[in-house]
């Protein structure tokens, strides 16, 4: 597969800006998998991983405190709804059970306007918002970006992609926030997207 710096810049410049998107945040275990999976869906514009749900200031991977690994999404509500994203999150784990290790626990972080949707979706699936094991934190707690090497984890193993971002002049923050990187990270993890076929089994180039 070939991606050029021009491809990256053209796609990113055509994507909705952050001001034109809405945000959803979920903790669903190790954040590498959800980051890649959500990036494969049409309408999800940007993804980033980090730490949320706790009170410890400035958590890191090796000193996470009482936070949990989480993924934060920017999505275009004209293409995909919060309800759809929430259903994907709920289908990825059992809301009746909670991992014992806080770092990998399941948490929904709805905004005030999203909380009613959480209740409606849980009710429609036979769950009581007040008794599910999945934690619900609303309004969301602060979201701290994870270290650069955790961002777009699967994409980083594809030299052809990383070199293209380097040639396009992208630094670590730009890579993290790139819509192109979100999709290619999904592709690198083996998910089919609207721009490419899965490449997880393709040898590194």
Domain boundaries, the chain: 5-79+99-188
Sheet containing 22-28: give its strands across. Answer: 135-136, 106-108, 22-28, 68-75, 44-52, 144-145
1 against 59, higher pLDDT: 59
The confidence score (pLDDT) of residue 103 equals 97
The confidence score (pLDDT) of residue 196 equals 61
The confidence score (pLDDT) of residue 59 equals 97
> How far separated are the first and last CA of the chain, in Å rounded?
9
The confidence score (pLDDT) of residue 195 equals 73
Query: Taking a C-beta distance cutoff of 8 angstroms, is the pair 27, 68 a contact?
Result: yes
CATH class of 5-79+99-188: alpha beta
Reduce the DSSP state of residue 129 to 3 states and report it: coil
Residue from 30, 56, 78, 91 carrying the catalytic annotation: 30
On the question of pLDDT at 74 being above 70, the answer is yes
The confidence score (pLDDT) of residue 141 equals 86
Considering the chain, what is the average pLDDT of its residues? 93
**Token pair in block for residue 56:** 């410890």
The confidence score (pLDDT) of residue 203 equals 41
For the question of residue 30 being annotated catalytic, the response is yes
Rg from Cα positions in the chain: 17
Helix axes 82-91, 115-124, angle to 10 degrees: 50
In the chain, which residue ranges form alpha helices assigned H by DSSP? Answer: 5-14, 32-39, 82-91, 115-124, 159-167, 172-177, 179-188
Reported residue count of the chain is 205
pLDDT in tens, 86-145: 999 999 999 999 999 999 999 999 999 999 999 999 999 999 998 999 999 988 889 999
């Amino acid at each position: 597969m070939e991606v050029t710096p021009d491809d990256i810049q053209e796609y990113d410049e055509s994507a909705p800006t952050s001001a034109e998107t809405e945000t959803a945040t979920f903790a669903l275990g190790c954040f590498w998998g959800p980051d890649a999976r959500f990036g494969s869906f049409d309408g999800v514009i940007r993804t980033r991983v980090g730490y949320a749900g706790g009170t410890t200031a400035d958590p890191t991977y090796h000193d996470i405190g009482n936070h949990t690994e989480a993924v934060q999404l920017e999505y275009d509500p004209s293409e995909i709804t919060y309800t759809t994203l929430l259903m994907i999150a709920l289908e990825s784990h059992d809301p009746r059970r909670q991992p014992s290790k806080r770092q990998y626990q399941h948490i929904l972080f709805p905004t005030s306007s999203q909380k009613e949707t959480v209740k409606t979706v849980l009710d429609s699936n036979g769950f009581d918002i007040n008794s599910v094991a999945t934690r619900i934190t609303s309004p969301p707690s602060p979201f701290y970006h994870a270290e650069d090497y955790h961002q777009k984890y699967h994409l980083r193993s594809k030299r052809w992609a990383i070199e293209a971002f380097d040639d396009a002049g992208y630094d670590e923050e730009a890579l993290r926030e790139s819509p192109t990187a979100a999709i290619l990270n999904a592709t690198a993890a083996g998910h089919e997207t609207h721009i490419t076929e899965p490449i997880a089994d393709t040898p590194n180039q």
